[in-house]
Amino acid sequence: MLLQRYYPIVSEIQEKDKMLALSSSPTFCQFPPRHTFRFRVSTLVKALSSTTSADCNAGVRTSYEGVKLEEKVAAEGAAKTRLDTWISTKINGISRARVQSSIRAGLVCVNGRIVDKDTNEAPKNTHHPVKDLPVKVSYAVRTGDEVNCTIAKLQPLRADAEDIPLDIIYEDDHVLVVNKPPHMVVHPAPGNPRGTLVNAVLNHCSLPNAALTDAEWLSEADDVSEDDLNIDVHPTNQSTCEETDPCSIRPGIVHRLDKGTSGLLVVAKNEHSHANLAEQFKAHTVNRVYLSVTSGLPTSASGRVEVHIGRDLNNRIRMTAITGNKYSGSSRHAASRYKVLEVLANGGAALVEWRLETGRTHQIRVHAKYLGIPLVGDELYGGTKDMTLSLLRQKNPCVGHLQLDNLVSSIERPCLHAMVLGFKHPCTGKYMHFSCPPPVDFAEILSQLRNISK
């Protein structure tokens, strides 16, 4: 069995985590058996997780509705900068997509003129008069432009129930723990409304559709801190009375995994659980252990990475490590611990364990790149097939090129798996500990790398 060699590693990590739990918590829950039963609608209360500016952590907002910006464009900020990009740099933490929605809603003015996607007249600028330029989302600001912006109300995103199988690790009336497969997005977003974990959960909860509110509806690449994530799933087929009925179902997402990442994820099933779990994630008390396969070996076999993470200004779908005096208002403190569990392919790769102290977007992927060991299969952060193949050939000159080519060509995602998840049960206070080995694709890559090492 491909997974047999995982179990010593999983067992060792699980026993270590159990000892930590016993020493830090008065109660401890052994790894519970799987349950696939559906919870009863009558036993659930709705999850309510509205977020306001009062919920901000470290100065970063979780709600932007009504936020206003009135500012004149300075010379240093006007070098061919798009209007939406310029505004997004002035409002800490907001996404460019949210700014674009506000522009299209007619809530942005330049020099007293409303910027509209259908208008072809440029706003008047006495400093640099320009004629016949389209004033739209892509309008480039100029020195002296006076910009007024009000962020539009976030419109709920509709999600429909879909009959997608869920690998349920544990379920009770308060929480649902699932083993997310690779290539599944956690929640719907513009351009990706179907096939997500939320769609599957709606079906599991016997809800035909829902409106997703109280979150920035962006792709997983946007820099919403995982520790601050709150997604409310609100059924749309309920009457006003049903909406206030504590028996109505309204699950909540309090953290997420990247599309390519497999592994454990918890979903809250009522108001109390949602609020309690959200606080645990914000307090960094949730135990999260990941397994990865990296390209190459780190300089030290174990260590701690503590470096800020922020948006890569050259690629908005990518995050980057922010070092030295380059900290900005949008960068966030991030810390991870790593340990090499096994050297693979004579140093061409490694099986590395990661323990998160914080939960930032793409944190492990960014920290792995920062250490010079990008995850195998992570095209966005340097773990390209060409890079992986080059290093494997360098470390294994006696291995046939065809064998290495076939190995690398089979990699379809970043080799990252959320193996361990531990938290205090939001109702009982007991420490809940879950673990699951990586899926078949991860195991197959690991097996092939081990064969090269022989």
| Closest alpha carbon to 363 in 379, 351, 375, 377 | 375
Residue 405 a catalytic site member? no
CB 385 within 8 A of CB 374: no
Write out the two tokens for 92: 């800490």
Write out the two tokens for 97: 């997509």
**DSSP characters over 272-333:** HHHHHHHHHHHTT-SEEEEEEEEES--SSSEEEEE-EEEE-TT-TT-EEEE-TT---TT-B-
Candidates 84, 222, 232, 258; catalytic one: 258
For residue 427, CA distances in Å to 2, 224, 268, 430, 446 come to 38, 27, 11, 8, 39
In this structure, the number of other CB atoms found within 10 A of the CB of residue 247 comes to 12
Residue with tokens 């030290």: 300
183: amino acid identity, one letter:
H
For residue 401, CA distances in Å to 375, 383, 404, 405, 452 come to 21, 19, 5, 6, 12
Contacts of 355 (CB under 8 A, 6+ apart): 287, 288, 289, 290, 336, 337, 338
For residue 412, CA distances in Å to 338, 340, 348, 377, 415 come to 24, 23, 18, 6, 9
Q: Supply the residues annotated as catalytic.
A: 258
